[in-house]
């Protein structure tokens, strides 16, 4: 089996799997832990954030590494494709915004306490931006599939000429 293919596949699994864990955990924080613990047991929420912080920081590292690898592998295939580059560029910028908010929501810095004090709002922002990133990724991926299918089909009516 081709080593390049295996690396690309493993990188994609790492990237998508990490997103699933991080977005799922963020949904849990927003819709389960946050509402249940709001106004009570601040030490419990601090303990949850402390454990979640390891997932956030590890996940950000994995997403940056696998994302960079995926980007380097995909770019030669999209030379001159403005829409693809626009989607991916916007997705990367939004991802770093999500990384910032996710980090301050699990952080301990006094300077970012205002985010944690209003964590419901900022967690919703993280989820909204994450959904937008996933949507852009889906468009780029499906668009690629259809573009490749059209290229592989050849010019219109090519099958008719080949049959003669």
Q: Per residue in 98-121, pLDDT tens?
A: 999 999 999 999 999 999 999 999
Burial class (CB within 10 angstroms; exposed 0-12, middle 13-18, buried 19+) of 77: exposed
Is 14 in contact with 62 (CB distance < 8 Å)? yes
Domain count, the chain: 1
Instruction: Identify the residue whose tokens are 């990384």.
Output: 99
111: which DSSP letter?
G
Domain that holds residue 101: 3-163
Is 66 in contact with 18 (CB distance < 8 Å)? yes
- pLDDT tens readout for residues 7-56: 999 999 999 999 999 999 999 999 999 999 888 888 998 899 999 999 99
Tokens standing for residue 154: 């050849």
């Amino acid at each position: 089996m081709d080593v390049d293919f295996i690396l690309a596949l493993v990188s994609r699994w790492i990237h998508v799997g990490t997103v699933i864990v991080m977005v799922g955990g963020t949904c849990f924080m927003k819709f389960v832990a946050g509402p249940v613990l709001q106004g009570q047991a601040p030490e419990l929420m601090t303990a949850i954030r402390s454990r979640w912080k390891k997932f956030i920081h590890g996940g950000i590292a994995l997403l940056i590494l696998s994302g960079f690898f995926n980007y380097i592998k995909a770019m030669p295939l999209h030379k001159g494709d403005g829409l693809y580059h626009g989607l991916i560029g916007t997705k990367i910028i939004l991802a770093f915004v999500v990384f910032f908010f996710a980090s301050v929501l699990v952080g301990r810095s006094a300077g970012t306490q205002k985010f944690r004090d209003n964590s419901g709002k900022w967690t919703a922002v993280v989820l909204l931006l994450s959904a937008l990133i996933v949507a852009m990724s889906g468009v780029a991926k499906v668009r690629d599939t259809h573009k490749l299918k059209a290229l592989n089909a050849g010019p219109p009516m090519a099958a008719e000429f080949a049959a003669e």
